[in-house]
Amino acid sequence: MNKTIIVSNRLPVSFKIDNQHLHAETSIGGLATGMKSVHSEGNGIWIGWSGLTEEQLNEKLTEEVDQALKKEKCITVSLNENDVENFYYGFSNRTLWPMFHYFMEYTEFELDQWNSYKEVNQKFADAVLEHANDGDTIWVHDYQLMLVPQMIRDRNPNLTIGFFLHIPYPSYEIFRTFPWREELLAGILGANLIGFHTYDYVRHFLSSVKRITGLETKFNDVLYNGRIVKVDSFPMGIDYDRFHEAALEHKTRPEDKKSDLMLKLEEHSQHFSDNKLILSIDRMDYTKGIPNRIRAFEYFLNKYPEYKERVRLVMLAVPSRSNVPQYQKLKSETDELVGRINGKFATVNWTPIWYFYRSMPFEDLVDLYASSHVALITPIRDGMNLVAKEYIASRANHDGVLVLSEMAGAAKEMHEALLINPNNFEQIADTLKQALEMPHAEQHVRIKELKKRISRYNVEKWAEEFMKALESGKNTPDMLVSKKLDENIINDMTDSCSNSKKRLFLLDYDGTLVGFKNNPEAAMPDDDLYDILDRLAANENNEVAIISGRDRNTLEKWFSHKNYTLITDHGVWLRKKSKDWEAIERIKSDWKDKIRPIIETFVDRTPGSFLEEKNYSLAWHYRKSDSELAVIRARELGLVLTSLISNNSLAVLEGNKVLEIKNSNVNKGRATAKLLAAEDYDFIFAIGDDWTDEYMFEELPQSAYTVKVGAQKTQARYYIKDNNDVRKILEGFAKKEKYGSELYN
């Protein structure tokens, strides 16, 4: 039976050593909860680091850890101090974390740390490979393990791999600064499905992929190494019921069961019935906007002094990564700010900020959520922010107001919150006032809507949706209509070729026989190509036909001295081998004078693009342009042209990074039909890479071997990854040893 393996840096259980004794702690974070159902199904396992380094463990302790984890269906990856220092505190938290959160000034690029990141990712991948069997599903989590998907695929392509990033994905302008950007992207692209919290992160990722690797993307799919990699957004939810139920329990808790914190909160509301609590909870991290929030609160007290002694900011900052210097700096800055503001505003009865620098048990957390009138969550950048959702889930009476930064992923789905820009103190101060004065009825409406969404799309649903998307890709591995041209098919095809009497080879030129060049003139045939084609054409039973969108002059220049059939201008002109040129279609080209100026304006507005004028068509090439701009412009030009030509016999064809306008009754299909009508072929091979070749594939009988270059949707029966393999296939047909002198001549 197939299983699911979850892979994350930390396990849902982590360990500490106190006085030589092992202490296990269950993680209560969202990830552990969300994965619970995935993890508990069948014989699923979770692979990650236990929290203890090799140096901290002796044989006995290792055995104990392994035994304890076995019960939880977890497996450890063994890391040493050096790994933790360089891979975790180093590369993960001093390079990827700040860079992905747009803190370039904190981002370090250290080769040693990158090497350690690669080594540790390999350790994780090895652990997965050791426990995975063909057909299993692997779900890799977060920025610490971005190379793991490809490392796994390299050694076992028969696994289905998902990857989810819990932090933001930055814009291309940020990501391009990263020295090892190609390797990192290749690492993630090893997955079958890549998930992000929001659609913006999806866009940023696809933009980096397009611009850095030059790979083609179609909607949310990346065509990579003959596979389709799906990219999508899956906004993570919380364990709604857990918070909701705990909040209900909070309301009815008997006196003797109340925690110190709860008693203190109650005492506060009894003594200061008019006094409201504003809550913030985060890890002590510079992305969370803690100093900004404190300064904005100070600004609020100055701007609206009537709120002095009537509000209190309760700030829980949980210690995090305290051996990274920026975190130490942030801690001192926060201490200093809280001290200064409390010193400045405090009265005998009131301190404006209650500040806790520690973590609290879950029950205390819920007490804080349940007792606070406003939650003030102001990250500078945040992948999602689960605290915002937990606050809403804990509002048993449907009251309270959430003030949330637009920069948190959660803002994308929590429109009923009051959204603020965390850098705008004026706006934060005014919004805080609005929150504190919001009528009860309005609070109710907003919270109710928020609760509806958060309870429905909870963390289990999130995991379920991701797994569903991952599994749906499993049954249709490449999601293409055509099959990959593998050894067996090639053998079949070459056998059928050698057993036949009259053969037709229909060969597209650009992107098939030669790779793309930035300039169309540069894609001249080379000696090797002439050699293979000559050998094929030398046999009088073979008809080698080059079928191209190129104009007659160019193909004449390159191939007139050869014994090949030539079809040019997408099928306007035909020259059968050793015969004269004949027009397949009689067409006019007077329309070009009207269309040319329009395309020229697009050339001016799209740097890198150019117009190619052919006898019977105009082609706008945008291969060299900025890919994102070009896609927008191509769509625009396509619309403009289509609207202009609706009444006459022109058609707009979308090729590989080219938009071409030409007479609609001309296409490679009609030219192919003309060839087929003239001869009775018992073997047909056709190969091409773009849309214009689809007409050719369509026209051919079922028995023809039709091959698309590139993993794309196609009418062809087979596909190959790229044009590097085309010559190998032709060479196979031309090989003397295999087909005898008849073919080789």
- Whichever of 248 and 360 has its CB closer to ligand GDG, that residue is 360
Residues 6+ apart with CB under 8 A from 491: none
Stretch that binds ligand GDG, among 69-77, 378-386, 456-464, 654-662 (CB under 6 A): 378-386
- Written as six digits, the tokens of 448 are 């109710």
Instruction: Please tell me the distance from the alpha carbon of residue 511 to that of residue 724, in angstroms, as a whole number.
Output: 10
Of 440, 450, 447, 394, which Cα lies nearest the Cα of 250?
A: 394
Nearest one of 286, 272, 297, 269 to 376, comparing CA atoms:
297
Q: Kindly tell me which of 52 and 386 has the beta carbon lying closer to ligand GDG.
A: 386
Distance, CA of 74 to chain centre? 27
Alpha helix stretches (DSSP H) within 277-374: 290-303, 325-345, 362-371
Q: Which of 17, 212, 215, 318 binds ligand GDG (CB under 6 A)?
A: 318
Return the number of the residue (27 or 665) whose C-beta is nearest ligand GDG.
27
8 Å CB contact between 539 and 745: yes
As measured in angstroms, the least distance from the Cβ of 406 to ligand GDG is: 14
Catalytic residues: 508
Nearer Cβ to ligand GDG, position 394 or 723?
394
**Closest to 210 measured CA to CA, from 228, 192, 197, 223:** 223
CB 595 within 8 A of CB 644: yes
Burial 711-738 (b: 16+ CB within 10 A, else e): bbebbbbbbbbebeebbebbeebbeeee
Rule CB under 6 A: say whether 239 interacts with ligand GDG: no
Q: In the range 280-299, which residues lie near ligand GDG by CB under 6 A?
A: 281, 283
Among residues 199 and 581, whose Cβ is nearest to ligand GDG? 199
Q: Annotate 70-93 with b (16+ C-beta within 10 A) or e (fewer).
A: eeeebbbbebeebbbebbbebbbb
- Quick one: which of 290, 289, 283 has its CA closest to 319? 283
Residue 106 CB, nearest distance to ligand GDG (Å)?
15
- Minimum CB–partner distance for residue 287 and ligand GDG (Å): 7
Residue indicated by tokens 């650009």? 510
- Quote the least distance from Cβ 285 to ligand GDG, whole Å: 6
User: Which residue, 240 or 681, is less far from ligand GDG as judged by CB?
Assistant: 240
CB of 292 to ligand GDG, least distance (A): 16
464-502: b or e for each residue (b if 16 or more CB lie within 10 Å)? ebbbebbeebeeeeeebebeebeeeebeebbeebbeeee
Minimum distance, C-beta of residue 382 to ligand GDG, in the bound complex (Å): 4
Which tokens is 208 given?
């980096």
Q: How far is CA 135 from the centre of its chain?
A: 23
Give, for 38, the enclosing helix (H) or strand (E). helix 30-40
Residue 346 burial (10 A CB sphere; 0-12, 13-18, 19+)? middle
Site membership for ligand GDG, residue 629 (CB under 6 A): no
Q: What is the nearest approach in angstroms of ligand GDG to the Cβ of residue 286?
A: 11
Q: How far is the CB of 429 from ligand GDG (least distance, A)?
A: 24
514 by DSSP, 3-state: which? strand
- Alpha helices by DSSP H, listed for 209-324, are 240-251, 260-271, 290-303
Window 501-560: residues binding ligand GDG (CB under 6 A):
none
Packing angle of the helix pair 459-475, 30-40 (nearest 10 deg): 50
Stretch that binds ligand GDG, among 45-53, 248-256, 306-314, 376-384 (CB under 6 A): 376-384
Query: What's the min distance (Å) between Cβ of 236 and ligand GDG?
Result: 5
- Taking the alpha carbons at both ends of the chain, their separation in whole angstroms is 55
Considering the complex, what minimum distance in angstroms separates the CB of residue 93 from ligand GDG?
Answer: 12
Q: Does 236 bind ligand GDG (CB under 6 A)?
A: yes
| Vertex 119: Cα angle to 57 and 228 (nearest 5) | 125
Map residue 414 onto helix, strand or coil.
coil
* Closest approach of ligand GDG to the CB of residue 361, in Å: 6
Q: Kindly tell me which of 30 and 473 has the beta carbon lying closer to ligand GDG.
A: 30
Residue numbers 13-32 binding ligand GDG by CB under 6 A: 28-30
- The DSSP code sequence of 58-97 is -HHHHHHHHHHHHHTTEEE----HHHIIIIIIIIIIIIIH
CB of 47 to ligand GDG, least distance (A): 19
Nearer to ligand GDG, 385 or 539 (CB): 385
Closer of 318 and 631 to ligand GDG (Cβ): 318
- Closest to ligand GDG by CB, 197 vs 662, is 197
Three-class secondary structure assignment of 588-618:
CCCCHHHHHHHHHHHHHHCCCCEEEECCCEE
Cα dihedral sign, 653-658-659-665? negative
Q: Total residues contacting ligand GDG (rule CB under 6 A)? A: 21
Supply the minimum distance, in Å, between the C-beta of residue 276 and ligand GDG: 22
x/- track of binding to ligand GDG for residues 334-373 (CB under 6 A):
-------------------------xx-x--x--------
In the region spanning residues 379 to 418, those forming contacts with ligand GDG, defined by CB under 6 A, are 382-387, 390
- Select 232 or 731, whichever has its Cβ closest to ligand GDG: 232
Tokens representing 673?
A: 């039909």
CA dist 671 and 552 (Å) reads: 14
Q: What are phi and psi of 376, to 5 degrees?
A: -115, 105
Burial 365-385 (b: 16+ CB within 10 A, else e): bbbbbbbbbbbbbbbbbbbbb
Whole-angstrom distance, CA of residue 357 vs CA of residue 489: 66
The residues in 131-170 that bind ligand GDG, with binding defined as CB under 6 A, are: 166-167
CB closer to ligand GDG, 190 vs 383: 383
Radius of gyration of the chain (CA): 32
| Centroid of chain to Cα 399 | 37
Q: Which is nearer to ligand GDG, 331 or 484 (CB)?
A: 331
What's the count of helices (H) and strands (E) in the chain, helices before strands?
27, 30
- Residues in contact with ligand GDG by CB under 6 A are 28-30, 166-167, 236, 281, 283, 316, 318, 359-360, 362, 365, 382-387, 390
